[in-house]
Amino acid sequence: MKKAAPFTAGEPRANRVLGRLAEERAAPAVPPELHGESGTTVEDARRRGRGALSNVPGRFEPAARVLFDDGWQSLDDLPPFKTEVTEERARTVITRNQSPDIAFDRSINPYRGCEHGCIYCFARPTHAYHGLSAGLDFETRLFVKPDAPELLARELSHPSYQPRVIAMGTNTDPYQPIERRYEVTRRLLEVLADFGHPVGIVTKSALVARDIDILGPMAEKGLVKVAISVTTLDPHLARTMEPRAASPHVRLGTIRRLADAGIPTAVLVAPLIPALNDNEVERILDSAKAAGASEAGYVTLRLPLEIADLFREWLVAHFPDKARHVLNLIRQMHGGKDYESAFGKRMRGDGPYAWTIGRRFEIAARRLGLAGRGMKLTTAHFRRPRPAGEQLSLFD
């Protein structure tokens, strides 16, 4: 970017202002460094209803393929992206972590990839481990673990297993559209209910209400909490940013249904994106409280690995007038970088702007009675079901 000439001490203020305005008008609407790689963007007709604009090969691939028109309109023959589901057989289903800034140490993810297509999804880079793109492949080439419930029952039955809250929805949404077909999440909940094992669920789908018949009895024993992610109340922004997820009013209605069923329900305002949806903090919390939410949390935008380029490309395409400002604020929150991976900073950011977002959220949550961790789940009901045919103990 061209630097402005230094002002002289005697130059009139009006001239300085007019000179600055002239430079801003002369600057390109979209800075060159914000554009994606040439030839990687997929045309609208092939990616209709998807979040990412491109499908750049995964970071571990030795070669990259770039589409170009050879003059014979060959690109017109390429089919649109359709959802493909691959069944995979895992050896275990519980994933462990030791991250000090996460409230759980184990989680279950029945699906890899997510059809919701949220452009900001921090799970996108994991598709590179399958040799796939974090872009459109992540939204269209999905993996399911159909035997996850059986694996879970086996792991919970192991004599050395010690129960603690299992989190679901921490990577990809357990209630994404293909759950209607496979019902892996529902069957996982049935196993957890049988064992009396506590679980916390994060989703942005209304499909979670389908399982109220399981979640309700679990909630009576203190075994379940559900967090509904509400990123914005603006339906246009939601459709652009999260193309195949439930609309904002449907998510609020889901909070109402769960709360009415006696299921502790939180609202997760995530991610908060500077100058894009961070102005909605108070409105989202007010609406969620009115719908029955009992607690709240937030996470600021994270842009690790491929997500930085994907988000930048999306931002320039949909909000070219805001792109430079949004990215500058993001970098202010991460020490001048797109992303800071340090524990304690990666999900909240740092600096004055991040501090302001945090204080606004804290004040609004406290005012509405949504602050704090809320009800603590219990492991007191955990029991390993007896195998069929096993003789009962004299004292059972």
User: HEC profile for 41-59?
Assistant: ECCHHHCCCCCCCECCCCC
Predicted local distance difference test score (pLDDT) of residue 53: 94
Question: Which of the residue ranges 50-64, 72-86, 243-257 would you say has the lowest mean pLDDT?
Answer: 72-86
Task: Indicate if the pLDDT at residue 132 is higher than 70.
Answer: yes
Inter-helix orientation angle 352-368/323-332, to 10°: 90
Strands 106-108 and 111-112: what pairing? unpaired
**For residue 303, what are its two tokens?**
């842009």
Question: Which of the residue ranges 66-75, 168-177, 335-344 would you say has the lowest mean pLDDT?
Answer: 66-75
Please report where in the chains the tokens 């402005």 appear, as a residue: 4
Question: Which of the residue ranges 24-28, 138-142, 378-382 would you say has the lowest mean pLDDT?
Answer: 24-28
Task: Name the band, by pLDDT with cuts 50, 70 and 90, for residue 140.
Answer: very high
Task: Name the band, by pLDDT with cuts 50, 70 and 90, for residue 317.
Answer: very high
Per-residue DSSP letter, 51? S
Task: Name the band, by pLDDT with cuts 50, 70 and 90, for residue 77.
Answer: low
Strands 111-112 and 199-203: what pairing? unpaired
Closest-CA residue to 381 (of 259, 226, 217): 217
Helix spans in the chain (H): 13-26, 136-140, 148-157, 179-182, 184-195, 212-220, 235-241, 248-260, 281-291, 306-318, 323-332, 352-368
**Single-letter amino acid, residue 102:** I
Task: Indicate if the pLDDT at residue 245 is higher than 70.
Answer: yes
| Mean of pLDDT over the chain | 87
State how far the Cα of 166 lies from the Cα of 371, in Å rounded to an integer: 22
Q: List, for residues 376-390, the tens digit of each pLDDT value.
A: 999 999 998 766 555
Closest-CA residue to 121 (of 356, 362, 389, 303): 303
Task: Name the band, by pLDDT with cuts 50, 70 and 90, for residue 224.
Answer: very high
Q: List, for residues 162-205, the tens digit of each pLDDT value.
A: 999 999 998 899 999 999 999 999 999 999 999 999 999 999 99
State how far the Cα of 162 lies from the Cα of 95, in Å rounded to an integer: 14
Task: Indicate if the pLDDT at residue 28 is higher than 50.
Answer: no
The residue ranking higher by pLDDT, 47 or 64, is 47
Q: Identify whether the C-beta of residue 369 lies closer than 8 Å to the C-beta of residue 289.
A: yes
The structural domains of the chain, ordered by start, are 230-299+352-371 (3.20.20.70)
Predicted local distance difference test score (pLDDT) of residue 11: 53
Mean per-residue pLDDT for 296-310? 95
Task: Indicate if the pLDDT at residue 32 is higher than 50.
Answer: no
Task: Name the band, by pLDDT with cuts 50, 70 and 90, for residue 1.
Answer: very low
The residue ranking higher by pLDDT, 76 or 363, is 363
Strands 224-229 and 265-272: what pairing? parallel
Predicted local distance difference test score (pLDDT) of residue 328: 97
Predicted local distance difference test score (pLDDT) of residue 42: 85
Cβ-based neighbour number of residue 6 at 10 Å: 6
Task: Indicate if the pLDDT at residue 25 is higher than 80.
Answer: no
State how far the Cα of 276 lies from the Cα of 357, in Å rounded to an integer: 13
